[in-house]
Structure 1
Amino acid sequence: MKYVSTRGTPDLGQFSDVLLMGLAPDGGLAMPESIPAFGPADLEALRGLSYPDLAFAVMRPFITDVPEDDLRALLHRTYRSDVFHSADMTPLTRLGDSQLYLLELSNGPSLAFKDMAMQFLGEIFEYVLERRGEVLNILGATSGDTGSAAEYAMLGKARVNVFMLSPHGRMSTFQQAQMFSLHEPNIFNIAVEGVFDDCQDLVKAVNADAPFKARYEIGAVNSINWARVLAQAVYYFKAYLALNLAPGQPVDFSVPSGNFGNVFAGYLAKSMGLPVGQLIVASNENDVLHDFFSSGTYHVRPAERVAMTSSPSMDIGKASNFERYLYLIADRDGAQTRTWWEGVGRGEPVALHGSAHWDAVTASEFRSGRSTHADRLNTIRRIDREYGRLIDPHTADGVLVGERHLRPGVPMVCLETALPAKFGETVQEAVGRIPGRPERFLNIEDAPRTFEVMPNDVQVLKAYIAAKLGALKGEVSPTR
């Protein structure tokens, strides 16, 4: 399987190449040359597989440059019950006798859904880098959960260093403690004076400097990395198979979404032949995605207009993975996608309503909705009262918006994105008690923290990266 750029570059190499690449040289995102499809018989053959074997079946068509036995071994090392604290990896729980189901994705090391892909990245990075005799310096941006998931996945990886940007003071107390309490020689936490989109723009600016990127061997773990999207597609298959539906019967998914990576993984699964009906994009007050799916116009929200909310991992005004969706809507027209996205970079909207492209959007069966702080509190309280189940505020966004789009006889699977413990203040406000947490995270807020506060300045960031990597090689003195 070869990969191409959403902006037209025809040959980016194979899976291992795009794994280490981050952004494509033309600024676009990696996409497979084609999307293999599973027929009804193929889907039936997946029933009863363990999670790692299911992951192999789903991912193998896209990863053809890794020997079959090696890939199987990698996936079995990744998806273990002692890592994800469940033999089922992603248990599917029905809420009472309703049509609502929770897909539990938050039992991993960082208590967030991003562990499902990030643990795979840790294993595949180590494998590919070892084979190539290379090192990789990961530069990432997080609105809360990507950072800790990436850092836990890369602990002890001798060939990987992590530079993680986060918006200063805009994560939950637990999220900050989870990241900043790590004191590892290959982990560097940077709190940027700005919002998540500023962090994301800094990552893109560094990637756009080709000589710097090459000299310092910069890679990515954000959802722009194709491997993450691919790994996340697996649990859509897992949820569908767990429902034991009749062949071809559809299932709807509601996905809390800010950067569009998690829900795009569902669209990938649908494009592969999984009988997915509606894909519900659940937004918080930062509702640029809801605006698009309800009006046909996508308009980036500038940093000063990104609200600070109680579902902070979705406090995003520019959804990076949306470019992959536009690329497919444009029938893989890289030139058209480049035109749209370069316009986005200039602050121009992507206006599709009434066009042939909007017909493609409609056919893709995306739906959307918006939730507020009051909605989240009410939903957390109601789900706890009616079903005895505590959910975090992001999952509450997904449940509420999913309920609005229920269809008779069609299951609605809501993707759990984090455990309530990560957002204890909001959950306590809703139900009057502090949610429980795994013993390993007791009193984590009191742990010493190591991080660097930095202005929103790409030159300052580059100098910091150069100094730290030079120090690791013994070339210069550390800056702290």
Structure 2
Amino acid sequence: MRFVSTRGHAAPASLDDAIAAGLAPDGGLYLPERIATVDGDRIALPPPSDDLAPTAAALLAPYFAGSRLRDALPAICAAAFDFPTPLRPQRGDGDHLLELFHGPTAAFKDVGARFLAEVMARLRGADDPDITILVATSGDTGAAVGAAFHRRPGFRVVILYPDGRVSPRQAHGLGCFGDNVRALRVAGSFDDCQRLVKQALADADLRARAPLGSANSISLGRLLPQAAYYAHSARAHEAAHGGPLNYVVPTGNLGNALACWLARAMGLPIGDIVLASNANDVLPRYFAGADYAPQPSVATLANAMDVGAPSNFERLRAWHASDDAVRAAMRAVAVDDAAIADAIRTAPAHHGVVPCPHTAVGLHVLDALRAAGDARPWAVVATAHPAKFDTIVEPLVGHAVTPPAPLAAQLARPAHAEPMAVDYDALRALLLD
């Protein structure tokens, strides 16, 4: 299968080249030239089980048909997905949490980052120059990418994050690796960080002198594997209950929600998809009928979703014939900080869980669906462990939240991040150093 740019001005690429490049030469995002389907491509999905890796290998096989990594795909998935992604019933009838925070950095970003690292390590030749993985993060992506590429020969990682706009524990997790991982705390927003990364990836002279790769959700190698946990959980629900599962997806840069849509488009038993946004309401306003209009991001309790220009909207729009078709595919709801705080405070009693602020956005939307009379089965995507946001969560629930062992190990290491202005020339000089 070949992969094409959302902007239509670049030659089709192989999967290997698309993943290595990150962005297409015309500045667009790569898409498969067609969406593989379970029936049309005869995808032989294994019986539902606790192990995500076999489902992922089968689901992604059509996209790897032309890759030199085709035969290695099962091993790639086994190495990347060595932690559980359970679908847990909650106290409400038909309520579920899809827990995606059991990886090494306690956030769903571990799924795509680990898969991408396994792929890129196998694509890199023994005599190839070192590759710099450049990543902008609103909180969780950078740590996941840092962990996935830490001490991998032939790679270095440069992480850009908005100074003062991530939680203290997130900031520690971004700067705790050292070795081949470098963290830059940028005096700006996530959108500023994302623009700097895109500018570097589009700089042909820079890339000729310092090979770059991307690990943001603009990378096809991040998007494709995320579809696997939706396929996995939806099939498990169907096997147990005989019908499709609907999803509430907390979203910022839109990659996670787009992966859910992709799994549904591939023929998995997924019903409705609701995007749960914070006060950065670009997507809710668009889905309500307004023009798509990126805006400066604002800081919220759910900081990893503080995105005013979601990159993956370009993919979502390219996959649909019109704005009306996009709006028919899903809907979006905005949740303010007061509602997020209330959802965290009440979740232990209502749902039997202590959520992170982003998961709390989803739980608020679920509660609203139930209040409106929706009795269908829903899964809220639990994107991160609440211990990453102790300064927000613990005062609201009234007790300490114990970090999982991998997160505790990161917090025990020293951390360091370098200050940087929103200055492309400074970033370019650093990448050439």
TM-score, length basis structure 1? 0.85
* 1:418 partnered with 2:419: no
Per the TM alignment, residue 97 of structure 1 is displaced from its structure 2 partner at its CA by 4.0
Report the Cα offset of residue 246 of structure 1.
Answer: 8.2
The range that moved more, 446-455 or 283-292, is 446-455
- 2:174 touches 2:183 (CA, 8 Å); kept in 1? yes
By how many angstroms is 1:44 displaced?
8.3
Distance 1:42 1:383 in 2: 41
CA contact (8 A) 1:3 1:10 kept: no
Name the SS for the 2:125 alignment partner.
helix
Indicate if the aligned counterparts of 1:173 and 1:445 stay in contact, CA closer than 8 A: no
Q: Give the drift of 1:47.
A: 2.4
For 1:379-434, what per-residue CA distance to the aligned partner results, in whole angstroms no more than 9, with x for missing partners? 12222123331110100001111333357452111111000000011111211112
- Residues 1:389 and 2:389 are matched in the alignment: no
3-state DSSP class of the match of 2:124? Answer: helix
Structure 1 residue matching 2:160: 3-state secondary structure: strand
Map 1:141-152 → 2, pairs under 5 A: 141-152=136-147
2:172 paired with 1:177: yes
Q: Does 1:319 align with 2:310?
A: yes
CA distance in 2, matches of 1:445, 1:90: 23
Match of 1:286 in 2: 280
Q: CA deviation at 1:325?
A: 0.6
Structure with greater Cα Rg: 1
Deviation (angstroms), 1:296: 3.4
- Between the aligned partners of 1:227 and 1:389, the Cα distance in structure 2 is 32
Moved more, 71-80 or 310-319: 71-80
| Per-residue deviation, residues 56-106 of structure 1 (Å, max 9, x unmatched) | 1111111121354311112112222xxx2xxxx211111114221100100
Could you say which residue in structure 2 is the equivalent of 1:460? 426
**One of 290, 293, 298 as aligned partner of 1:296:** 290
- Whether the 8 Å CA contact 1:369–1:401 is kept in 2: the answer is yes
The match for 1:117 among 112, 116, 122 is: 112
Q: How does 1:71-470 map to 2 (within 5 A)?
A: 71-80=73-82, 84=83, 89-130=84-125, 133-184=128-179, 186-245=180-239, 249-302=243-296, 306-330=297-321, 357-364=322-329, 366-406=330-370, 408-442=374-408, 447-467=413-433
Identity %: 36
- 1:211-244 per-residue CA deviation (whole Å, 9 max, x = no partner) reads 1122210110000001111000000011101213
Shift of 1:363: 2.9
TM-superposed CA distance for 1:443, in Å, is 8.3
1:277 CA displacement: 2.0
How far apart, CA to CA, are the structure 2 residues paired with 1:20 and 1:122?
11
Q: CA distance change for structure 1 residues 386 and 401 in 2, over 3 Å: closer, same or farther?
A: closer
Q: 1: distance between equivalents of 2:261 and 2:305?
A: 19
Conserved in 2, the CA contact under 8 Å of 1:198 and 1:456? Answer: yes
Shift of 1:449: 2.4
Deviation readout 1:131-173 (Å, 9 max, x if unpaired): 7735321111000000000000001210111011000111100
**Residue 12 and residue 247 in structure 1: after superposition, are their counterparts in 2 closer, same or farther (change >3 A)?**
farther
RMSD, aligned CA:
2.1
Contact 1:20 1:136 in 2 (8 A): no
Supply the AA of the counterpart residue of 1:415. Answer: V
Per-residue deviation, 1:378: 1.4
Native 8 Å contact 2:276 2:332 kept in 1: yes
Cα separation, 1, equivalents of 2:311 and 2:182: 23
Indicate how the Cα distance of structure 1 residues 73 and 317 shifts in structure 2: closer, same or farther if over 3 A, else same: same
Structure-1 separation of matches of 2:69 and 2:111: 22
When residues 16 and 47 of structure 1 are mapped into structure 2, their CA distance, relative to the original with a 3 A threshold, is same
1:247 CA drift (Å): 9.7
Name structure 2 gaps, 5 residues minimum: none
Would the alpha carbon gap of residues 189 and 273 (structure 1) be closer, same or farther in structure 2, given more than 3 Å must change? Answer: same
1:278-309, Cα deviation, whole Å (9 max, x unpaired):
1111011111111111123211112xxx2211
CA distance 1:134–1:402, shift in 2 (3 Å): farther
Q: What amino acid sits opposite 1:61 in the alignment? A: P
Shift of the 362–439 alpha-carbon distance from structure 1 to 2, 3 Å rule, reads: closer
Query: What's 1:472 paired with?
Result: none
Distance 1:109 1:45 in 2: 27
Structure 1 pair 311–384 and aligned structure 2 pair: CA distance change class (3 A) = same
User: Would you say 1:6 and 2:19 are equivalent positions?
Assistant: no
Instruction: Write the letter of the residue equivalent to 2:358.
Output: H
SS at match of 1:298: coil
Q: Residue 253 of structure 1: SS of its match in structure 2? A: strand
Q: Which runs of structure 2 are paired with 1:32-51 in the superposition (5 Å)?
A: 32-39=32-39, 45-48=45-48, 50-51=51-52
CA contact (8 A) 1:193 1:455 kept: yes
Matches within 5 A, 1:50-65: 50-64=51-65, 65=67
CA distance in 1, matches of 2:255, 2:25: 21
Measured in 2, the distance between the counterparts of 1:132 and 1:280 equals 46
One-letter code of the match for 1:117? Answer: G
